[in-house]
Amino acid sequence: METTKSALASFVLAMVVYPEVLQKAQEEIDRVVGVDRLPQLEDRDQLPYIECIVKEALRWSASIPLGIPHCLTEDDEHEGHTIPKGSTVLSNIWAMTRDEEIDPDASTFRPERFLNMDAKTAERTDPRATVFGFGRRTCPGRYFADANIFMVVASMVATLNIAKARDSKGQVITPSVEFHSGMTRYPPEFTCNITPRSQRAEDMVSKMLTSLLD
């Protein structure tokens, strides 16, 4: 859950700092899903830009920058360096998701980088192949987490406006994108303005919550 929270907090921060991304995502949701229902997992294949936002949120701020430690079960060699059996190896996921040769302008939240790729390139650059770990230490909940993040992102885009807040003097507050370091990476605490997109959206969410509580 900590990694999911980290990814979603990064998504909200990105929507505040990059409002044009949210606008484009809302246009896609309105076109594909409409305004009379909430998005469903079955809509995923018809929402390529939302899919790109999910990928970019995972890439832009890898939740566990150094992954989970691995222990070598036999001697190995990597680019001329001998790594003896029993060594602890940390995978620098942060560097993998910020490789400028693969993702130019890597510090910018730009979902469009994942659009219009051929299947081979899409597979090679998909951050989900990296951020969930490797080998036998790959996150066992990765598919659930991926679906969960997609549904939260799609639902928030469909029902909410997310924007910069203003201070007591009416000045726009632009949050920092300097993340806290640690085992799990989080954005710093920030202020933003989140409001329902419409009365219809508010009513749909209220109805859904009521049905869950009944």
3-state secondary structure of 112: helix
CA distances from 26 to 29, 50, 92 (A): 5, 9, 34
Q: List domains and CATH numbers for the chain.
A: 2-65+91-213 (1.10.630.10)
CA distance 92 to 102: 15
Give 15-57 pLDDT, tens digit per residue: 999 999 999 999 999 999 999 999 999 999 999 999 999 999 9
Q: Would the pLDDT of 181 be above 80?
A: no
Which residues have C-beta within 8 Å of that of residue 56, sequence separation ≥ 6? 14, 109, 110, 111, 113, 114
Say which residue the tokens 């979603």 belong to: 8
C-alpha distances in angstroms, 74 versus 106, 114, 173, 198? 35, 37, 53, 59
pLDDT given at position 86: 94
Task: Encode pLDDT of 109-139 as tens digits.
Answer: 999 999 988 888 888 889 999 998 888 778 8
Q: Pairing between strand 81-83 and 76-78?
A: antiparallel
Specify the pLDDT at position 133.
Answer: 87
Please state, in angstroms and rounded to a whole number, the distance separating the CA atoms of residues 111 and 50.
Answer: 9
The string of DSSP letters for 113-135 reads GGTT--HHHHHHH-THHHHT--G
DSSP state letters, 149-210: HHHHHHHHHHHEEEEE-B-TTS-B------PBPSSS-BPPP--EEEEES-HHHHHHHHHHHH
Q: And the tokens for 146?
A: 């991926």
Q: 68-89 burial, b for 16+ CB within 10 Å, e for fewer?
A: bebeeeeeeeeeeeeeeeeeee
How does pLDDT run across 59-99, given as a tens digit for each residue? 998 888 888 888 899 999 988 999 999 999 988 998 999 88
Q: Are 187 and 13 in contact (CB under 8 A)?
A: yes
Which of 86, 71, 87, 63 lies closest to 6, judged by CA?
A: 63
- pLDDT, position 46: 97
